[in-house]
Structure 1
Amino acid sequence: MYRAPSRRKNKKEVKKPNLIPILDAVFIFIFFLLMSASFLNIHEIQSDVPIISNQEPPKNKKPPLALTLKIRASNIQILTGVPGSVRKSIGKNSDGDYDLVALRTYLIGLKKSNATEKDIVLEPLVDLQYEELVKIMDSVRILKNTDPDIWTTGKDGSDIRIKELFSNIVFGNIQS
């Protein structure tokens, strides 16, 4: 007598995988990614690129300050005017870092006599560490609460306290 194979008789039902735990894990993973992304702070330091033009600059009553910092390996030279003439040279302190306190003190004195000026040109002539460049930029941009007050007269004749030193930083030698 012929006997049918057992495979045909015992048909097993194919079980589908349970996707609910996998989907739960994926949604939890996405949730944690979104939550961790909100704690990431990115800071930006505003800086402009010099404008190159063939036109004559507008005529001003007062010549521009044209404040420039040439950052060298041994010192920082402060230049003013067009063409720039060296006003002061700030060396390094005993730790081998640039003397940013002396730089700030001199720039505060310049700001008192040129209260409306906001521009400063940085010309690093040497390779600098990023942190060192940011320290220099912070020392020329920000007026601290411990710094002496600088006042100017507004358009309506009222006194206005200046809150920043030279906040518009431009890099001068980007093509070298």
Structure 2
Amino acid sequence: MAYRTPTSRKAKRTEEGINLIPILDAVFIFIFFLLMSTQFVKIFEIGSDVPIVSTTPPPKDDKPPFMLTLVINKNNILVQLQNSRGGTKDRNIEVRNIEGEYDLDTLHNELVKIKKQNLGEEQVILEPKADLSYEEIVLIMDATRKLRNTDETMFKKDKDGIDVQVRFLFHKIIFGNIMS
């Protein structure tokens, strides 16, 4: 009697690969969702410059440099307007801490007075000497940066001699005593 091979061995098995189409569909939908969701997310950032340490001497300038410094202590904010040529302090304004909160309206009004006298200046140095919460620092920065709708409008001349409205108080904020 002749030996017959089973039919299951004879028939060649075709191996089927993994169906990648559903996985690729899911990946493309996920990428599309991420791209679309970035349109709805707003990221808020308050710009601040780090002081630059340089070994070269600064260039000579005809006008005295403007140095507005806010020293933030536990009980007050000291507004110092300095002339660095002679190192003399032109103005010292103290904004008291009332009932645990800084008087930001007085600070803002004093900064508006300083801005009226120095329309071209945009820089302020913050020196927090006390431990402050994030919210307190942001409130002080907002009082320093933004002009309010109730403030008197100010105009300065641009390069072409055209009057341009001043939109910010001192929006270039530098932290003066950052420890690294």
Q: TM-score, normalised by structure 2?
A: 0.78
Structure 1, gaps ≥5 residues long: none
Which of 95, 98, 103 aligns to 1:93? It is: 98
Which of 58, 61, 72 aligns to 2:60? It is: 58
SS of residue in 2 equivalent to 1:43: coil
Structure 2, gaps ≥5 residues long: none
Kept in 2, the 8 Å contact 1:66–1:84? The answer is no
* Amino acid aligned to 1:164: F
The equivalent residue for 2:23 is: 22
Q: TM-score, normalised by structure 1?
A: 0.79
* Amino acid aligned to 1:60: D
* Amino acid aligned to 1:161: Q
Q: 2: CA distance between counterparts of 1:59 and 1:15?
A: 79
Q: Structure 1 residues 16, 67: closer, same or farther in 2, change over 3 A?
A: closer
Q: Structure 1 residues 8, 52: closer, same or farther in 2, change over 3 A?
A: closer
Which structure shows the bigger proportion of residues in strand conformation? 2
1:6, distance to aligned residue in structure 2 (A): 5.6
* Amino acid aligned to 2:129: L
SS of residue in 1 equivalent to 2:62: coil
Q: 2: CA distance between counterparts of 1:156 and 1:122?
A: 32
Q: Structure 1 residues 79, 5: closer, same or farther in 2, change over 3 A?
A: same
